[in-house]
Amino acid sequence: MIPKIILGNGPQATRRTIGYLFGKGRANEHVDPHLVAFWNGFAPDPGRSPHRDPKEVEAQLAAQLDQPVRMLGDKAPKYTVWHCPVRAAPEDPILADDQWATIARRIVAAAGIAPDRDEEACRWVAVRHADDPIHIAATLVRQDGRRPQRDYDQRAVQREARQIEVDHGLRRLKPGDGTAAKRPTSKEHFKAKRLGQDATSRAILRLRVRRAMAAASTEAEFFALLEATGVTVRLKVGPSGDALGCNFALPGDTNDKGEPVFYAGSTLAGDLSLPQIRKRLATTTPEPATVRPGNPWHQATAATERIPNHLIRSSDQVVQGQLAALGAAFDLLPLTAPTTVRAELERAAVAFERATRSRTAADHASACVLRRSVQAIWKEPARHGDGAGLAMLLDVGLTAVAYAMHWHRIRRHAQQQAAAEQTLIHLEAAYAQIAGPVLAGLASRSPGQRIRRRYAHHLQQAVPEHAERILDDPAWDALATVLAEAEAAGHTPTAILDRALSWRTLDDAHSPARALTWRIRRLGERHAPSPRAQAANAHHAAGRPAAPRPQEPQTRRP
């Protein structure tokens, strides 16, 4: 059940609201509008007065609602109308009018509009004009002339809605924590439909600004990227001449005067205000030109693979920085991926954006390697190769998201946990499309049985607890291929396999052979160590204790 509060002002605010509620709606969606509850027992009902002109009854109802407001004259508050649509989920049973009446009374009581047994409370009505929603409209002056006590009414109404879901057996939504982005209004939805847009201007701008922030290394580059995507930027300049904020508009999105409709960055999302954008960009300045860049796919994969350890051992500030960087990576990946998987990756990015929201200040500097490497991938989209780089990154990304889901669960971040769960669904679908052809290509070059038996023997000695799963895994042939290719490049198969096994546990891997394939692919593309270095590494590895393994989440990655 989703309640949303809208405030109205102006001398005709109540009349406009009542006219809309009893009218046909913006898309003729209002069917049989009528009152299901109201502040007294004799309010006129424009939907149940067949012998009178409906407009006349609407005017009478609006006048009665407005009477306490008019009594204050010039002392009336700026906002005089409290409008709260309440919508049930599509899969919920259709409620009767008396059930909706009970819900409406609970909502206005929770909001402070009309507390129980308060005969001097605000005047209000609840209108039903379809199966699943009602609209509650109230005037914001009590009948005794005082203002209602409606501090934090949105939060109070949401809490009451969660309890109503339990009491009426409705779909139970996740409790919020006040970090969600502002939802598009119904007016914005209708406008998007009229303009032929798949999403509202607010949602499109949020995605474009987030992508520009993920791709940019400097503030100048950030604004240049926005301009390249058609976004108009209007800076808010202080008396000193410094930019204090920025607003964004889409081309063609205008108001009734033909002027661009601007959205402040802070209303698109809490981390898209100019000060927050500057904090993020301050930690992504370009690396010195003297530093020789490595394979950005490998760098991004290695950085992402470290996220589970951060989620277990690091501070909340570092964790938040890691999640923000992973979200930025997901924002950019659709732009570098094959067209066949872009839609799934975009859905994953939109879902995970909610999982990155928190009231904790992020330590963005802790995740600069991931952001820089993904930016390097985005700047050289031709370096896709056979898709192995993207498959490797998605493989470790799935594990990172699974750990994020667990991290949110134990902290009771219900909406973030649900967002991470949804992200896994889309990432797994994209991963299957990318990894399948790559693994099939590797498997087609699998070495002979003698070499495969040699590799299998070492696996049984190195990880007896996983050997059977690895050898029965459909990706075993691909794993044998990358081991053979690493050996041909000068690596010792046992050493490179041991190193891949030491990186992270395989307990949470859906396909352990697949996970090892990507690890060894990365290791095998590095320069092979000299015989002396190999001997030293082997001696060092034999004398040191095994690295501690991170505590696993309760739910294995899908």
Q: How far apart are CA 268 and CA 430, in angstroms?
A: 27
CA dihedral 334, 328, 379, 392 (to 10 degrees): -70
In angstroms, the Cα distances linking 106 to 37, 126, 553 are: 11, 12, 39
The set of residues, in sequence order, having a beta carbon less than 8 Å from that of 330 and lying 6+ positions away, is 345, 348, 349, 352, 353, 397, 423
Q: How far apart are CA 417 and CA 179, in angstroms?
A: 13
Q: How far apart are CA 369 and CA 367, in angstroms?
A: 6
Domain that holds residue 421: 294-431
Q: Are 139 and 80 in contact (CB under 8 A)?
A: yes
- Domain identity same for 305 and 394: yes
- Domain identity same for 101 and 209: no
Domain count, the chain: 4
Residue whose entry in the numeric block shows the structure tokens 């922030």? 213
- Domain identity same for 227 and 344: no
- Domain identity same for 402 and 451: no
User: Smallest Cα–Cα separation from 324: which of 291, 280, 269?
Assistant: 280
Buried b (16+ CB within 10 A) or exposed e, 92-106: beebeeeebbbbbbb
Question: Per the domain annotation, does 21 fall within a domain?
Answer: yes
- Domain identity same for 192 and 155: no
- Domain identity same for 69 and 194: no
Terminal Cα-to-Cα distance of the chain (whole angstroms): 29
Question: Per the domain annotation, does 439 fall within a domain?
Answer: no
What's the gap between Cα 196 and its chain centre? 24
Question: Per the domain annotation, does 546 fall within a domain?
Answer: no
- Domain identity same for 26 and 161: yes
Q: Are 504 and 463 in contact (CB under 8 A)?
A: no
Count Cα neighbours of 12 within 13 Å in the Cβ-side half-sphere: 5
- Domain identity same for 161 and 19: yes
Partners of 81 in beta bridges: 8, 139
Residue 547 has a pLDDT of 41
Residue 283 has a pLDDT of 77
Strands 79-87 and 34-38: unpaired
Supply the pTM of this predicted model: 0.71
Question: Per the domain annotation, does 552 fall within a domain?
Answer: no
**Tokens matching residue 389:** 């780089």
Q: How far apart are CA 217 and CA 287, in angstroms?
A: 10
Question: Per the domain annotation, does 539 fall within a domain?
Answer: no
Q: Which of 249, 283, 317 is a domain's end point?
A: 283
Task: Give the CATH number, domain containing residue 44.
Answer: 3.30.930
Identity at 74, one-letter amino acid code: D
- Domain identity same for 457 and 309: no
Helices 339-355 and 414-443: crossing angle in degrees, nearest 10, is: 150
Residue 383 has a pLDDT of 56
Count Cα neighbours of 512 within 13 Å in the Cβ-side half-sphere: 21
Q: Are 389 and 319 in contact (CB under 8 A)?
A: no
- Domain identity same for 15 and 162: yes
**Tokens matching residue 435:** 């990894």
- Domain identity same for 315 and 462: no
Q: Which of 283, 304, 337 is a domain's end point?
A: 283
Residue 313 has a pLDDT of 93
Residue 136 has a pLDDT of 96
Q: 5 exposed, middle or buried (CB, 10 Å; 0-12, 13-18, 19+)?
A: middle
Q: How far apart are CA 439 and CA 334, in angstroms?
A: 21
Strands 133-139 and 124-128: antiparallel
Ramachandran quadrant class, 412 (left: phi over 0; alpha: psi -120 to 50; beta: rest): left
Q: How far apart are CA 420 and CA 91, in angstroms?
A: 23
Q: Which of 222, 255, 283 is a domain's end point?
A: 283
Residue whose entry in the numeric block shows the structure tokens 């063609």? 252
Question: Per the domain annotation, does 415 fall within a domain?
Answer: yes
Question: Per the domain annotation, does 104 fall within a domain?
Answer: yes
Count Cα neighbours of 351 within 13 Å in the Cβ-side half-sphere: 20
- Report the 10 Å Cβ neighbour count for 169: 9
The residues of the chain scoring below 70 in pLDDT are 26-29, 174-181, 284-293, 381-386, 508, 526-558
**Angle made by CA atoms 31, 37, 38, in degrees to the nearest 5:** 120
- Domain identity same for 353 and 239: no
Question: Per the domain annotation, does 544 fall within a domain?
Answer: no
**Tokens matching residue 344:** 């799934």
